[in-house]
Amino acid sequence: MEIKTVGVVGAGLMGSGIAEVCARSGLRTRVAEAGEEALAAGRRRVERSIERGRQGGKLSDSDAEEITGRLSFSTDLAEMSDCDLVVEAIVERLADKVELFGTLDGILHEDAILASNTSSLPIIEIARVTKRPDRVIGTHFFNPAPVMRLLEVVRTIATSDRTLEETRALGERLGKRVIVAQDRGGFIVNLLLIPFLNSAVRLFESGFATKEDIDEGMKLGCGHPMGPLQLLDYIGLDTALFVCDALYEEYAVRDYAAPPLLKRMVAAGYLGRKSGRGFYEYEGAQRG
């Protein structure tokens, strides 16, 4: 099956970037959100990013116009009925994703692929509510999706070879380097990344070093583009906490357990860049 029309459900940090990547690659892209306000915010995020590309000379005026023309936005999931593949990028909660997949399963044509951008949830638990578990797969994009070259494709024990190959081909069409992971908590990247981020929080929490020194240490000492605490602010502390909890539940290994400081910061609403405050402050910062 050639994928011509793609749907993206949830136009937050990740969904808006995924939608932009798809539209830039020539695919008709339908974006859905839960409510009008979130939809308008998602649309602004995508349009601002395309405009930045135009102003920065990466996109010509006609490219920008064509990309915008391939995108449509709605709060009505029924408008996804002609999509060949739908990626969900909604909140990281199993119950919400299960409900969404049940609904999408009833809307999409029987050969369509249902993909989840989950960072941590068992995709098979989302797949089993559908009548097409062989057509359900994980497509784990990285933030910001238009910039980051990696796509982790995650196959469950029920995903068919055909679904894997069609999804891999789509990822390559989007200009991504595709790596394939099993449907186990953390896939490849988070399994390695989360213990590192948690160690940095524990180091900071214990008073061992300042946040600036921890971040500079990893940037200048290891060539990381940003330090671990900066990266946590970038990911969103609430998202990181969800991932820690899911990995700890999966493996019961202390390295994955969320440090108390991370939990308290999320409780305080210090979610990182998106809320204007995390380990650092972002004056006047706007998401995306």
Binding site for ligand NAD (CB under 6 A): 9-15, 32-34, 38, 89-92, 96, 100, 117-119, 140-143, 235-236, 239
Q: Report residue 47 as tokens.
A: 């349009």
Tokens of 179: 């790596």
Which of 49, 88, 116, 140 does the annotation list as catalytic? 140
Q: Rounded to the nearest whole angstrom, what is the least distance from the CB of residue 188 to ligand NAD in the complex?
A: 13
The distance of Cα 228 from the centroid of its chain, to the nearest Å, equals 18
Instruction: From the candidates 117, 120, 190, 198, give the one annotated as an active-site residue.
Output: 190
Q: At what angle do helices 237-251 and 228-235 cross, to 10 degrees?
A: 100
- Mark whether 275 is an active-site residue: no
Is 190 a known active-site residue? yes
- In the bound state with ligand NAD, the residue whose beta carbon lies nearer, of 72 and 143, is 143
> What is the token pair recorded at 143?
């933030």
Residue whose CB is less far from ligand NAD, 101 or 204: 101
Q: Which tokens sit at 135?
A: 């057509």
Cβ at position 244, least distance to ligand NAD in Å: 12
Distance, in Å, from the CA atom of 18 to the CA atom of 87, rounded to the nearest integer, reads 9
Q: Which is nearer to ligand NAD, 142 or 280 (CB)?
A: 142
Residue least distant from ligand NAD (Cβ): 12
Do 38 and 60 form a contact (C-beta atoms < 8 A)? no
Which lies closer to ligand NAD via its Cβ, residue 12 or residue 133? Answer: 12
Q: How far is the CB of 104 from ligand NAD (least distance, A)?
A: 10
Buried b (16+ CB within 10 A) or exposed e, 180-216: ebebebbbbebbebbbebbebbebbeeeeeebeebbe
Report the nearest approach of ligand NAD to the CB of residue 39 (Å).
8
Tokens of 209: 């070093």
Catalytic residue among 119, 120, 198, 275: 119
Write out the catalytic residue numbers: 119, 140, 152, 190
